[in-house]
Structure 1
Amino acid sequence: MFKQSINSKISTLLEGCGDPKILTMCLIYLLAGAFAAVTKATGSVDTIVHLGLDLINSQYIYFGVFIIAAFLSVSTGTSVGAIVALAPIVIGFADTGDFSLGILCGALLGGSMFGDNLSVISDTTIAATQSLDCKMSDKFKANIKIALPAALVTIGILIYQGLSLQTDGTETVAYSYSILKIAPYVIVIVLSIIGINVFTTLMLGVISAGILGVFYGDFSIIEFTRISYTGFTNMTEIFLLSLLTGGLAALVAYNGGIEFILVKIKTLIRNQKTAQFGIAALVSTINTAIANNTVSIIISGSIAKSINDEYGLDNKQTASILDVFACITQGLLPYGAQVLMILSFANGNITYVDLVSNTWYLVLLLLSTTLFITFRNHPKNINEENALA
């Protein structure tokens, strides 16, 4: 398909696979996989769920589901993982009290996507920050300014919807857990926010989770290494996909494909605001086609970086916009993994329309991001200003 010799194509492919940004991304995936596997083995995921459920009054269950899903997703870096952990419990609430299954599932989906979008160990965050060459802590700080207003309004709506609930017949369940087991998540979140190197952060997270697991007798030191390796293998798919995507992107770039797309997009771009909307449209279109927010960011990342640099945009804000619109599209797709997972657990008791119409957060996030791009004042060239600072 490309006008190169076989040897030249292979050489270009391997150069793309070996790009430092791609390899960095892949190594972070491995450490994130180990962290997720070890914390699951220690029971840290169950601890977060049970702690949240233990502290929430029944009238605030909608708000509570959103908060627990958000924290769990931020901590583990996966919206699907949060949904798998919480969906059986959340759907069970509808059978034990006067709760709306549609609102419960909408809160679960919204909270999971909120956490996934902000998590510093999420595949999407890793892909976006590596593509735009910015720190995860900087991206988090920029992203929270966009996501937090939408989350706060969502929380207000969910609290209002829960005030009319009848709680007299709701069964109270006592959960057993150790608060210390959430320590690895706290360590990773705090270190990431203050800007500690991501490799150091994840290594400390894995080690602290391993120490807790050995201390509580959840596994031995030898089993800890095996579980960590299992975490590595759990990331094999996205690891290989990222490598091959990097190689394919290099082939496309070498043969002028990236430049062709840039030229087409630039015909619609007039200024910095339309440049950001162009990036949003690009990643949303790709994600609609492939239903994978991480891969859509990887594919569109190099184009977004070119537009970002040419129009003098802020790297961390562009990374946030890239991640946010991939998140919104993924959460609203009827054939996206998150939606399909929830509908599967609901076993036909709610429809796609019921779910999406109650997922306030994603709609409000779209509105918040659109307003942010439209009304924010853009300096002439933010990246040049940062370089001179």
Structure 2
Amino acid sequence: MIYKQRDKGGLALLPFIIFIVIYLGAGIYFQHMGVEMAFYQFPSVTAMFLAVIAAFCMGDENLTFKFGIFARGAGNENVMTMLMIYILAGAFSAVAAAMGGRDSVVNLGISLIPVQFLTVGMFIISALMGTATGTSMGTVASIVPIAAGVAVKSGISEPLMVAACVGGAMFGDNLSMISDTTIAATRTQGCELKDKFRVNFRIALPAALITIGIFLFTGRPDSVPDIQNLNYNLLAVIPYVTVFGLALLGANVFLVLTSGIFLAGFIGIASSEMTVISFAQNIWEGFTSMNEAFFLALFCGGISELISFYGGIDWLINKFNHMIRGSRSAQLCIAALVSIVDCATANNTVAIIITGGVAKNIADEYHVDSRISASLLDIFSCVFQGIIPYGAQLLTASALASQNGATLSSIEIIPHMWYCWLLGLFGLLSIFIPFARLKKTETPSGKQQEA
């Protein structure tokens, strides 16, 4: 069927506006009522479902016609690829954690840290953990309870220690090959995971190194805490190393994640940490753990196609044209767009999924390399996710720290989030001072591009 585009201008963007108003409004309401995790009380998928209904109310075409457009967007190759990667990444994380891999990575790292470098060590462990597991929330939940107790016993500033953990977790979330933000950024922009990693790493590394330098001088303990008797299994670390290594070598992402799942399962069964049945159950639990990102991507793909059909994307790009004068200003717009949406939704994955299509159009229009646009989406969504006091990462970190001897609010952590502040700075610098000239590469669509 041939779909002839209609022109409803800015009104076509109403579904996304409804989503943000509902999600942001509910968060502000619950925050005012003093509810914990206020911005996570109203399910984002429900808010997106209401936006879907609004999208179907646009235009006078019949519902069958509109559903055909919606299905075309939801069933887009990039969307379906994203969904498959999501559930495989969830399965790998669940199986690897169940066989003791996550705890082993944390305990091994802490056991190797010299006492005088505890704060730096927590940052590095969190960074490695976040990169290996692809989840900042899982990293925060695993490491902050230990870090908070260590801070109290050693006399290290509690907000500084917790900020080191959250900053490292955001480093990993930004760069991990199996992070939902990385998956969303690369699939919406049409570039390979390994290519985005290489560009992103050049921007993130200076920020991480300066952060380490700051923690070396400001995070020394007053006393020696007792952190002995931490158990770990080196075999349990192997699946994480394997997945990361294969991804860097450029292996197909489906092969990488599937190999990781079965390698973790084999080690878990061989070490009696799980049975064949529990292995199967963990795979399923991993699949279902990604249901929020799965449905958001599915709904958002369909809504984006409807918005595009009714001229919303073209209208938005035309408005940006008044502000964009070339590649650099286009990159600034992409960074600003995802930052604003992240502040509104308090969810970096949601922010990337919502803005990815518009960012891709801007990048194509102004010849921005897809590896750069993907990196900007991921970088600036992580920057703001790490410094908004109502984001899940800081709220969870402050709650866990308070349960383990420390007493602090999410706002107290923000001034010490050196990594996120510096990542934002180097992200902006990379727009005006390219850190390296990119070689020509072929996008999944077969087109060659060069920065």
- Which TM-score band (shorter chain)? over 0.9
Q: 1:88 to 1:315 in 2, by over 3 A?
A: same
The yes-or-no answer on 1:166 pairing with 2:217 is no
Alignment of 1:258-277 (within 5 A): 258-277=313-332
**In the alignment, which residue of structure 2 is the partner of 1:106?**
163
Corresponding residue number in structure 2 for 1:124 = 181
Alignment-derived partner of residue 434 in structure 2: 376
User: Aligned letter for 1:39?
Assistant: A
Contact 1:16 1:246 in 2 (8 A): yes
1:73 to 124, 130, 146: 130
Which stretch has the larger CA shift, 59-68 or 215-224? 215-224
Question: Which residue in the other structure is 1:184 paired with?
Answer: 239
Give me the TM-score of the superposition, normalised by structure 1: 0.95
Structure 1 residues 176 and 241, CA gap change in structure 2 (3 angstroms): same
1:112-137: CA deviation from partner (whole Å, max 9, x where unpaired): 00000000000000000001110000
- Pick from 64, 74, 88 the counterpart of residue 31 of structure 1: 88
CA separation of 1:262/1:47 partners in 2, compared to 1, >3 Å: closer, same or farther?
A: same
- Matches of 1:333 and 1:171 in 2, distance apart? 33
**Which consecutive residues of structure 2, in runs of 5 or more, have no partner in the other structure?**
1-56
Cα distance in 2, alignment partners of residues 134 and 172 from structure 1 = 43
Which of 357, 364, 367 pairs up with 2:415?
A: 357
Question: AA paired with 2:201?
Answer: I
3-state SS in 1 of match to 2:211: helix
Specify the alignment match of 1:304 in structure 2: 359
**Distance verdict in 2 for CA 1:383–1:198, change over 3 Å:** closer
Question: 1:32/1:96 Cα in 2 relative to 1: closer, same or farther (>3 Å)?
Answer: same
2:57 is equivalent to residue 22 of structure 1: no
Question: C-alpha separation between the residues in 2 aligned to 1:102 and 1:378?
Answer: 35
Structure 2 CA distance for aligned equivalents of residues 38 and 86 of structure 1: 19
**Equivalent AA in structure 1 for residue 353 of structure 2:** I
Conserved? CA contact 1:83–1:108, under 8 Å: yes
Amino acid at match of 1:357: P
Distance of aligned partners of 1:304 and 1:140 in 2 relative to their CA distance in 1, 3 Å threshold = same
Number of the residue aligned with 1:56: 113
Letter in 1 for 2:222: Q
Give distance in 2, aligned partners of 1:378 and 1:171.
45
Q: CA deviation at 1:95?
A: 2.5
The aligned counterpart of 1:282 is 337
* Partner residue, 1:387: 448
Aligned alpha-carbon RMSD (Å): 2.0
Quote the Cα distance in structure 2 between the aligned partners of 1:377 and 1:210. 40
Q: In the TM superposition, what are the counterparts of 1:133-144 in structure 2 within 5 Å?
A: 133-144=190-201
Question: Normalization by structure 2: what TM-score?
Answer: 0.82
The gaps in structure 1 that reach 5 residues or longer are: none
| SS of structure 2 residue aligned to 1:332 | coil
Partner Cα distance (2:268, 2:441) in 1 = 44
1:241 aligns with 2:241: no
Is the contact made by 1:22 and 1:242 (CA closer than 8 Å) also made in structure 2? yes
Say which of 265, 278, 281 aligns to 1:226.
Answer: 281
* Counterpart residue identity of residue 350, structure 1: L
User: For residues 202 and 285 of structure 1, what CA distance do their matches in structure 2 show?
Assistant: 32
- Give distance in 1, aligned partners of 2:114 and 2:173: 25
Contact kept, 8 Å, 1:313 with 1:382, in 2: the verdict is no
Question: Could you give the per-residue CA deviations for residues 154-205 of structure 1, whole angstroms, max 9, x where no partner exists?
Answer: 0011111134x333x4224122211111100001100111110100000010
Amino acid at match of 1:13: F
Q: Does the aligned pair in 1 maintain the 2:150–2:225 contact within 8 Å?
A: no
Structure-1 separation of matches of 2:432 and 2:93 = 37
Q: Residue in 2 aligned with 1:322?
A: 377
